[in-house]
Amino acid sequence: MGTRFGYARCSTNESRQDIERQVRELQQMGVDRKNIFREYESGSKINRVELGRLLVTVKPGDEIYATEVSRITRSTRQLCDIIERAKENRLKLVVGSFVVDCTGDELDPMTDGMLKMMGVFAEMERNMIRQRVKSGIENARSKGKRIGRPCLALKDIPAKVMSTYEKYKDGLISKTDYAKICSISRPTLDKYLSVMGDV
């Protein structure tokens, strides 16, 4: 038997709790934690870094696990491409309780069709969600509500960022050091500095 690999995906890095749930489920399916590829990207995006890394890592006889088909992709076309790659490389796909064994000479047509149908439903779900979000935004705008994140003000900037600002302005510390001292990322620091008048 080949190596078991897992793929866990969430749309944004704000869904860490959800991706950890997927990781736990993959471990329960027998995948070693070190062999689980984690990604924070839309399921409709074709060129995903971690999925690409996974697909070039697996070798004939290996197994790819995901908790559900929508985690691998929400695009029927991409799912078909992945199935074809699994056939060419004699891989086994395990999606939840659904097994697609391509390690033999020929894939059962019923299994092939069922997986593709699951991909169609995943894509339909994505399109319905997108439509609901668009409708909700239009409805909110028609009622005069502001859409998007609230504007950042000086009062919203952490005290540590404010107290360290003079050292940065005087050239005593770099922007990278500034971010480390305040335990924030560079992009977050840039947002604060734009309010403080530096960027």
How many C-beta atoms surround the C-beta of residue 189 within 10 A?
Answer: 22
Does the global pTM surpass 0.85? no
Q: Which domain holds residue 181?
A: 154-196
Residue 100 has pLDDT above 90, yes or no: no
How many separate domains does the chain show? 2
Same structural domain, 100 and 188: no
Are 111 and 72 contained in the same domain?
yes
CA 85/CA 72 separation, integer angstroms:
14
At position 11, the amino acid (one-letter code) is: S
Q: Is residue 133 part of a domain?
A: no
Model pLDDT for residues 111-150, shown as the tens digit of each residue? 666 666 666 666 666 666 667 767 777 777 777 666 556 6
Report the first-to-last Cα separation within the chain, whole angstroms.
55
Residues recognised as catalytic: 11
**Which of 43-52, 76-85, 178-187 has the least mean pLDDT?**
76-85
- Residue 159 pLDDT > 80, yes or no? yes
Cα–Cα distances in Å, from 150 out to 31, 124, 146, 195, 197?
Answer: 41, 32, 8, 13, 18
Which amino acid appears at position 182 of this protein?
A: C
Q: How many helices (H) and strands (E) does the chain have?
A: 8, 5
- Residue 25 corresponds to which amino acid? E
Of 39, 29, 88, 40, the closest CA to residue 64 belongs to 29
If asked whether residues 95 and 15 sit together in one domain, one would say: yes
Structural contact between residues 4 and 62, judged by C-beta atoms closer than 8 angstroms: yes
- The token duo for 83 is 């199935």
Q: Mean pLDDT, to the nearest integer, of 34-63? A: 89
